[in-house]
């Protein structure tokens, strides 16, 4: 985009976010740093890191929820649970590979994400919250290990097909 923008012609951040992003990118490429909306641009860049953290939080919570269901409702194990567990692990690993500074983030969030995962697992299984451990029984290394599945051993032919 090689448009030349005059300061008064720039789209305000609040008016059209997509257009604002395109214009700010063009200004950066053109080296027109004095014309940048520095405050909003800085906020957007900072939010990118927060976005990755929120995604890890969400995926970690879903992963813990499914590990709990896997362990405590072994007779109802479903193919979908297995696929969800594997996908969440894969996506978290990918986020950490892209942003290695987040390597320790899952460890920091394990306890808080476990609390909510426990509530959701109880709701979905019909089991009582007390049927699940109060504190996370898993190590982060195990939670993220593609080969770790808690509870009684299993084979794919035992899974309920959905």
Let me know whether 30 and 56 are in one domain.
no
The tokens for 1 are 């985009």
62-98: pLDDT as tens digits: 999 999 999 999 999 999 999 999 999 999 999 999 9
In a domain, 45, yes or no: no
14-44: pLDDT as tens digits: 999 999 999 999 999 999 999 999 999 999 9
Let me know whether 137 and 64 are in one domain.
yes
8: containing domain? 1-36
Let me know whether 91 and 30 are in one domain.
no
Let me know whether 17 and 67 are in one domain.
no
Let me know whether 87 and 130 are in one domain.
yes
Q: Which of 137, 131, 143, 138 is nearest to 62 (CA)?
A: 143
Let me know whether 14 and 83 are in one domain.
no
Task: Name the pTM for this structure.
Answer: 0.81
Let me know whether 62 and 27 are in one domain.
no
């Amino acid at each position: 985009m090689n448009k030349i923008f005059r300061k008064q012609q720039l789209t305000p951040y609040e008016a059209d976010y997509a257009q604002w992003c395109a214009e700010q990118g063009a200004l950066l490429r053109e080296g027109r740093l004095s014309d940048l909306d520095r405050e909003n641009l800085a906020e957007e860049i900072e939010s990118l890191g927060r976005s990755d953290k929120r995604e890890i939080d969400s995926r970690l919570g879903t992963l813990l929820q499914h590990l709990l269901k896997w362990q405590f409702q072994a007779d109802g194990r479903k193919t979908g649970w297995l696929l969800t567990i594997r996908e969440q692990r894969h996506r978290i690993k990918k986020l950490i590979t892209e942003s290695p500074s987040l390597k320790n983030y899952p460890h920091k969030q394990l306890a808080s994400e476990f609390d909510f995962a426990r509530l959701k697992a109880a709701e979905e299984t019909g089991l009582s919250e007390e049927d699940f451990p109060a504190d996370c029984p898993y190590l982060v290394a195990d939670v993220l290990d593609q080969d770790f599945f808690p509870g009684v051993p299993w084979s794919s032919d035992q899974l309920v097909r959905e």
